[in-house]
Structure 1
Amino acid sequence: MNHHIGVTISLDASEEVRQKAMMAANILHLPWKERKATLGETCASDCDCLLIYTKQLPEIWTKDSIYRFHLGTAELRIKQMKRGVQDRLLALLPPRKDIVIVDATFGAGRDATVFSWYVGNAGKVISLEKSAALWAIGKEGLAQFSDSDKDVIEALRRIELYHYDFVSWLLKAQSKSVDVIYFDTMFKHPVKRNANHIEAFRKSACYDTLQESILLEACRVARECIIVKERSFSPLFKNELFTKIDSKRGQSTAYGVITCKNRK
């Protein structure tokens, strides 16, 4: 899925914001779109998404929706864990916190935030994002987003986010150099209740898919395990590499686990 993304500014943006936006367009190799009276006019006919720099955090605009960095479900999950409720994803991690987790598909950053809160200063979370627009949104969000919960803000600031695709990263990574690698690629069949509310996010995302060769490369790099989030009916989970499928009745998604320990 290939959407054309341009970079512009809000109508009330200062010269400082304008310079920052133009620099981002250059670094990200995205076309600069001179701001017009309306976003529709700014977009014109040669792009269907805009990465907009504003006085606050940048945002992604389409004619159907706007995406901004926010904690979403991560905040609720952290609050539940503070009350002693077990998190379904974290339950699949090794039973210690001094681990290095690579979130290979940062996206909105919610799982990375939960990982970072969980491991604290004892561990480390490295995130990768191939989409230039989502990387830009994430980079600014991790650095500037504010929240009343100090622990959550500290978790955000600890995440290391890189503009990288997971295949290139894996091929360059040293063997057994991290503990866990997590994949949450864009679903081919999105969850219907969310599909119409994240159009701006979906149009700016990358749609790389997982294949056995990628999973094997991930096993080479990870010491402990690989975790994959997918729809419960995904044919990927039929691959014999998976040692566990965590699928719950009533849940639209499932987690597949590949154990890497003792795997050559």
Structure 2
Amino acid sequence: MQPITIVTTAGRPDERSLALAAFVCEQLHIVYEPRRKRAITTMAKQLHAHIIVAGKDRFAYYPLSAIEPFFFHPNSAAFRLKRVARGETDPFLVATQLSKGETLLDCTLGLAADAMLGAYQVGDTGRVIGLEGNRNVAFIVKQGLQQYDVTTLPLTACMRRIEVIHAQAIDYLLMLPDNSFDVVYMDPMFEETIEEATNFTTLRHAGVQAGLTEQWVQHAVRVAKKRVVLKAHFRSTWFASYGFQQMTRTTAKFHYGVIEKERRDEGLL
């Protein structure tokens, strides 16, 4: 039997957390379960359920059997944006080559750190859409991007501009016409786990884990005007298998790969 998703509150709910729980019920069409002093792990086992906790300051998501919750936070985007604002480079922006007013489709949004960099680069005249295949994760990230209290600009403005859509990447790509976005970006869960990336442990448990496929790459190339960018473990066979030019970085355990649309099109002529 597939687990259901329910919403509850912190141990001692106040009016705000109850109102937030009601909001989750309305948005996701799920039911509210009173906490009654039970531990989240106990509730999950009793009800065979994933649990979203509406707290005073944030939403937290506990997939069934998970010990640690998934919740939104800016992750690495805060210090990366500070570096970019100082005029330093960022490997993601080097790979994507985004400009003001352009459009980015992030097929694997995660915690949206790369999407925030993209939103900064394209500015308020550009557009960034992020896809997340897990409905609960999509909700947590969407609410976090809209509500997270960040006093450091330009991070807040970048967060607010990202549009979160609950959809599997290939399903969404199939609906799009050719040349819909300047850049299509994908960061599937790595074939190999990077030990240092402990902040993604809960996301790996909660999110949709989809490997790259020929169909995915084919439609990403069709939808992109300029280029398709892949992020993967430096030993990944995806770069060579799907025609990405791998951008090696000797100090990093993940690399970016690029398919430039103009060059791909010229090769077909």
- What TM-score, normalized to structure 2? 0.87
Question: How many percent identity over aligned positions?
Answer: 23
Pairing partner for 1:136 from 136, 139, 154: 139
Task: Tell me which of 119, 122, 133 is aligned to 1:119.
Answer: 122
Are 2:170 and 1:167 equivalent residues in the alignment? yes
Which of the pair has the greater relative contact order for Cα pairs under 8 Å at 6+ separation?
1
1:193 aligns with 2:210: no
Q: How does 1:59-74 map onto structure 2 within 5 Å?
A: 59-61=60-62, 63-74=66-77
Instruction: Give the match for residue 22 of structure 2.
Output: 19
Residue 144 of structure 2 is aligned to residue 152 of structure 1: no
Q: Return 3-12 or 49-58, whichever deviates more.
A: 3-12
- Equivalent position of 1:43 in the other structure: 44
Distance 2:46 2:262 in 1: 52
- Answer with 6-15 or 76-85: which moved more: 6-15
> Partner of 1:109 in structure 2?
112
User: Residues 68-116 of structure 1: CA distance to partner in whole angstroms, max 9, x if unpaired?
Assistant: 2111210111111122211111012236322110011111111111110
Classify the secondary structure of the residue corresponding to 2:58.
Answer: coil
Give 2:86's aligned residue. Answer: 83
Describe the superposition over 1:147-175 as per-residue Cα deviations: whole angstroms up to 9, x where unpaired. Answer: 11232111111111111111111111011
Deviations 1:114-144 (A, max 9, x none): 1101211232111111111211111111111
Q: Distance in 1 between matches of 2:134 and 2:141?
A: 10
Q: Deviations over 1:217-258 (max 9, x none)?
A: 11111110000100011111122522x211211211011111
Give the aligned residue type for 2:45: A
Structure 1: runs of 5 or more not aligned: none
Q: Report the Cα distance in structure 1 between the residues aligned to 2:4 and 2:230, rounded to whole angstroms.
A: 28
Per the alignment, residue 251 of structure 1 pairs with: 252
> For the residues of structure 2 that align with 1:199 and 1:46, how far apart are their CA atoms?
24
Root mean square deviation, CA, Å: 2.2
Unaligned runs of 5+ in 2: none
CA deviation after TM superposition for structure 1 residue 35, in Å: 2.3
